């Protein structure tokens, strides 16, 4: 059977359907203590005194710690670092003298019971001396805002581009603050195991191997003394699994107190303390010729990082400045990004970091250029797309330490296929008709280039035991995206077994020495390829060994459903893979014992999938409500290992994108108090706001960078959602330039609609 390319049902679903999942909060250990974090209630203040005596007096409270108790622990280091000298902006695990955002951990309570721990946390009295908060660190008057660094990228002769331009089009655009908000909040449980002399933490996600090293280093322990375990993970989206203060605190407490420590975040904490994202202002200028050719683009942007630089350092800004040009040639380009601090929750990555924002900026700009030149926006896009014969296309920019080289693609072909899928002429005619009848409807498009498959490596070990059971062990992680099924499919096809019989183990730092983790749409590209390599080696070893057993040359043998036999003679003599494994016991065969192999896939460059989002919206100018009637995603995936799972990724991403485009916004008042700290205020889409996402999945441009030809699927569902919806709203409102800010909340849309001349 060909598993690769087939929409087989997921092998990981059963425990999730029956209530047997093991999420972070599902583990309970005897004698455990519960940790509760005391968080700052002010945005910026000097900590005059933290009085813990009443809390400590409660029966059942074991300890209360403030910064004084943990001052030997260094701040949380960067997982990815692109600019030197930013260490002073890292976050301590408990605030040191000054608190810088509402929700910052100031102290922890360790108590017998979670209700008691919460009671005690309320008895920790904090005296603050108020300091002036920075809530909006943007231009033109940054005031007291700290600019940590300026990230600048570009190429070509910008001066010449602007000097010779027929028209210069300028715009200021803003993407609000929102983030992944997985349905499972964070959680971690740590205990010391004297048998193996290790501190073990359950509740790891995304990057367990990296976090193990970081925790070991912060606690001054050898790497082998820390062990991280991933359970089921209730959604990732960039935010979950990064190293946060609470992860370090549970490990420290487990070591110091000698008891298991359990910390489960509540939703309010999550919305105040886990990474926010987006929050950018761009001022962008384009130099264009009369025929729509874009000669050059100059961008200046401000990225509000919040109060500290967390594990991603300036990763989002890196991606913003390096990938803003997207699918277009743009002979000259520059982006200057001010990385600003404010007294708000620190930011990290959220699905399509830097691309959601820049695709909104770039594609709104394209529509504005089209309006100015009175050209069809599809025509302007077509004019500027990178032609297929220029692939691979070298952007002459670096992103995340690797050159931006689009590996393969035919952007014009995808545009044609999308227009055909939409029935573009008929659709625009129908919308024109509805507008003439008084409806406020519009169509918007966003073209984007994604990035995926970030290296430099990942590895997989494939083992067949004597019972014939196949185990794939990988250092990547699962955040619910279908890792187990996809790796089982690749292993099954390569080795010649049934996918349903393959077990996949991931996210356990003691089962494989190295692992990069699950982010940047990298798992299928990197671990899929490593699985192919490892399973290929196991197959070779199996055929060699079976050759002696069946008295046939290895090249004449094949494997099907775990049975080895002579090709063309399925009813002839055969041996099962388990029997082959039994021949490879130590001392019985030459070479490494056992039917097992490791495959390590290494790559220097990312692979760049691309796509187009199209939205049809209806606007109620009175209420400002925007209804997404249709949402289409055309996506070039190279090769889909499991089309149904790819479509699931795209539909889920699109739903989140619709949320970011219309609903989700972390608002603050002028004193830095968050106004969105529950699901009553932070609005996420329900089934009513999300239409059926129509997916046009294309396999026209396989990646030359990996043996499967795949490109990542994790992020392309969200990338252009803000762009397409904003362009559609602008189209509905008669091409309004005022549509320049996400989310397009009802009050914002209503304000724009009211400012327009009535038809």
Partner 1 sequence: MSNRTEVEVRLNVNGRDYRVRVEPRRTLADTLRDNCGLTGTHLGCEHGVCGACTILADGEPVRACLMFAVQCEGMELRTVEGLADGDRLHPLQQAFWENHGLQCGFCTPGFLMLATGYLEQRPEPDEEELKEMLSSNLCRCTGYQNILKAVKQAAAEMRG
For partner 1, the binding residues (CB under 8 A) are: 9-10, 13-14, 16-23, 25-26, 28, 59-60, 112-116, 180-185, 232-237, 266-267, 479-482, 644-645, 648, 651-656, 678-680, 684, 686-688, 690, 692-693, 717
| Choice between 152 and 500, CB closer to partner 1 | 500
**How near is the Cβ of 465 to partner 1 at its closest, in Å?**
24
| Minimum distance from residue 27 beta carbon to partner 1 (Å) | 9
Based on CB atoms, which residue is closest to partner 1, 249 or 518? 518
Quickly count helices (H) and strands (E) in the chain: 18, 29
Pairing between β-strand 574-576 and β-strand 595-602 as defined by DSSP bridges: unpaired
Q: How far is the CB of 688 from partner 1 (least distance, A)?
A: 5
Q: Which is nearer to partner 1, 61 or 550 (CB)?
A: 61
Task: Measure the CA–CA gap between 362 and 547, rounded to whole angstroms.
Answer: 60
In the complex, the smallest distance separating the C-beta of residue 747 from partner 1, rounded to whole angstroms, is: 21
* DSSP reduced 3-state for 193: strand
For the CB of residue 21, give the shortest distance to partner 1 in the complex, in Å: 6
Cβ at position 205, least distance to partner 1 in Å: 10
Nearer to partner 1, 15 or 220 (CB): 15
Q: How far is the CB of 674 from partner 1 (least distance, A)?
A: 16
* Contact by Cβ (8 Å): 716, 666: no
- Shortest distance, position 186 Cβ to partner 1, whole Å: 12
CA-wise closest residue to 347 among 179, 196, 200, 597:
179
Indicate the residue among 17 and 195 with the shorter CB distance to partner 1: 17
Q: With b meaning 16 or more CB within 10 Å and e meaning fewer, what string describes 140-166?
A: eeeeebeebbebebbbbebeebbeebe
Q: Which is nearer to partner 1, 690 or 733 (CB)?
A: 690
Cβ 657 to partner 1, closest distance in Å?
A: 10
Instruction: Return the number of the residue (68 or 686) whose C-beta is nearest partner 1.
Output: 686
> Which lies closer to partner 1 via its Cβ, residue 569 or residue 686?
686
Q: Which is nearer to partner 1, 119 or 620 (CB)?
A: 119
End-to-end Cα spacing for the chain: 61
Q: Give the H or E element holding residue 490.
A: helix 483-495
Indicate the SS3 state at residue 557.
strand
Output phi, psi for 439, to 5 deg.
Answer: -80, 150
Quick one: 182 or 609, whose CB is closer to partner 1?
182
Strands 187-193 and 595-602: unpaired
Q: Least Å distance between CB 618 and partner 1?
A: 17
CB of 30 to partner 1, least distance (A): 13
Cis amide bond preceding 743, omega within 30: yes
Copy the structure tokens of residue 95: 């605030």
Nearest CA among 687, 699, 705, 686 for reference residue 646:
699
Give the integer Cα–Cα distance in Å for 744 and 207: 34
Residue from 233, 450, 467, 273 nearest 355 by CA: 450
Token output for 114: 């979670």
- Integer Cα distance of 563 and 597 in angstroms: 19
Helix axes 208-219, 245-257, angle to 10 degrees: 50
In whole angstroms, how far apart are CA 587 and each of 63, 132, 463?
55, 73, 18
What is the Cα Rg of the chain in Å? 27
Q: Among residues 61 and 449, whose Cβ is nearest to partner 1?
A: 61
Q: Which of 208, 153, 97 is nearest to 404 (CA)?
A: 153
Residue 93 · residue 245 · CB < 8 Å: yes
User: Which is closer to partner 1, CB of 719 or CB of 740?
Assistant: 719
The least distance separating partner 1 from the CB of residue 115, rounded to whole angstroms, comes to 7
Dihedral over Cα of 204, 205, 208, 210: its sign: negative
């Amino acid at each position: 059977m060909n598993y690769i390319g087939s929409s087989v049902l997921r092998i990981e679903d059963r425990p999730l359907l029956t209530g047997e999942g093991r999420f972070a909060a599902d583990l309970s250990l005897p004698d455990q203590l519960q940790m509760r974090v005391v968080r700052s209630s002010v945005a910026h203040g000097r900590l005059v005194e933290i009085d813990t005596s009443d809390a400590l007096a409660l029966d059942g409270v074991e300890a209360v710690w403030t910064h004084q108790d943990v001052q030997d622990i260094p701040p949380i280091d960067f997982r990815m670092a692109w600019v030197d000298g930013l260490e002073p902006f890292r976050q301590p695990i408990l605030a040191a003298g000054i608190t810088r955002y509402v929700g910052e951990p100031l102290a922890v309570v360790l108590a017998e019971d979670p209700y008691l721990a919460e009671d005690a946390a309320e008895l920790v009295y904090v005296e603050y001396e108020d300091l002036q908060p920075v809530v909006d660190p943007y231009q033109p008057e940054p005031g007291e805002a700290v600019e940590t660094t300026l990230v600048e990228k570009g190429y070509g002769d910008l001066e010449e581009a602007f000097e010779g331009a027929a028209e210069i089009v300028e715009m200021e655009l803003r993407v609000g603050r929102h983030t992944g908000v997985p349905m499972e909040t964070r959680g971690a449980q740590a205990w010391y195991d004297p048998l193996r002399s290790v501190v073990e933490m359950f509740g790891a996600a995304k990057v367990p191997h990296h976090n193990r090293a970081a925790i070991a280093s912060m606690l001054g322990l050898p790497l082998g003394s820390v062990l991280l375990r991933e359970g089921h993970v209730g959604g990732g989206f960039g935010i979950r699994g990064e190293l946060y203060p609470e992860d370090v605190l549970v490990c420290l407490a487990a070591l110091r107190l000698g008891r298991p420590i359990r910390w489960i975040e509540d939703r309010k904490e999550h919305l105040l303390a886990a990474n926010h994202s987006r929050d950018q202002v761009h001022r962008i200028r384009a130099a264009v010729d009369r025929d729509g050719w874009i000669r050059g683009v100059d961008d200046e942007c401000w990225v509000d990082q919040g109060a500290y630089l967390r594990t991603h350092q300036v990763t989002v800004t890196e991606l913003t400045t390096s990938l803003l040009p997207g699918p277009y040639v743009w002979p000259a380009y520059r982006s200057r990004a001010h990385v600003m601090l404010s007294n708000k929750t620190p930011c990290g990555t959220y699905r399509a970091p830097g691309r959601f924002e820049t695709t909104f900026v770039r594609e709104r700009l394209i529509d504005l250029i089209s309006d100015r030149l009175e050209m069809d926006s599809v025509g302007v896009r077509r004019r500027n797309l990178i032609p297929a014969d220029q692939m691979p296309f070298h952007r002459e920019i670096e992103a995340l330490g690797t050159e931006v080289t689009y590996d393969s693609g035919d952007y014009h072909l995808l545009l044609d296929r999308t227009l055909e899928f939409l029935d573009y002429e008929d659709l625009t005619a129908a919308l024109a008709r509805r507008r003439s009848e008084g409806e406020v409807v519009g169509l918007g498009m966003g073209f984007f280039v994604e990035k995926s498959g970030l290296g430099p490596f990942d590895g997989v070990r494939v083992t067949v035991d004597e019972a014939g059971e196949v185990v794939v062990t990988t250092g990547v992680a699962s955040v619910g995206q279908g890792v187990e099924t996809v790796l089982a499919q690749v292993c099954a096809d390569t080795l010649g077994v049934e996918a349903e019989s393959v077990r996949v183990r991931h996210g356990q730092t003691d089962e494989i020495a190295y692992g990069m983790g699950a982010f940047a749409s990298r798992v299928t590209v990197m671990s899929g390829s490593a699985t192919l390599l490892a399973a290929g080696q196991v197959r070779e070893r199996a055929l060699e060994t079976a050759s002696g057993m069946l008295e046939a040359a290895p090249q004449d043998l094949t494997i099907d459903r775990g049975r080895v036999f002579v090709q063309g003679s399925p009813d002839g003599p055969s041996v099962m893979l388990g029997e082959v494994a039994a021949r490879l016991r130590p001392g019985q065969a030459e070479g490494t014992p056992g039917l097992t192999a490791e495959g390590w896939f290494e790559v220097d460059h990312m692979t760049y999938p691309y796509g187009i989002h199209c939205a049809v919206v209806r606007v109620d100018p009175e209420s400002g409500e925007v209804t997404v009637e249709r949402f289409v995603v055309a996506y070039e995936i190279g090769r889909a290992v499991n089309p149904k799972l790819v479509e699931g990724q795209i539909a889920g991403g699109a739903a989140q994108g619709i949320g970011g485009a219309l609903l989700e916004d972390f608002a603050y008042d002028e004193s830095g108090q968050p106004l969105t700290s529950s699901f009553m205020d932070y609005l996420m889409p329900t089934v009513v706001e999300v239409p059926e996402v129509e997916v046009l999945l294309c396999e026209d441009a396989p990646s030359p960078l990996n043996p499967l030809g795949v490109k990542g699927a994790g992020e392309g569902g969200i990338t252009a959602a803000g762009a397409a919806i904003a362009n559609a709203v602008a189209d509905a409102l008669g091409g309004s330039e005022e549509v320049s800010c996400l989310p397009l909340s009802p009050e914002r849309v209503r304000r724009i609609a009211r400012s327009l001349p009535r038809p």
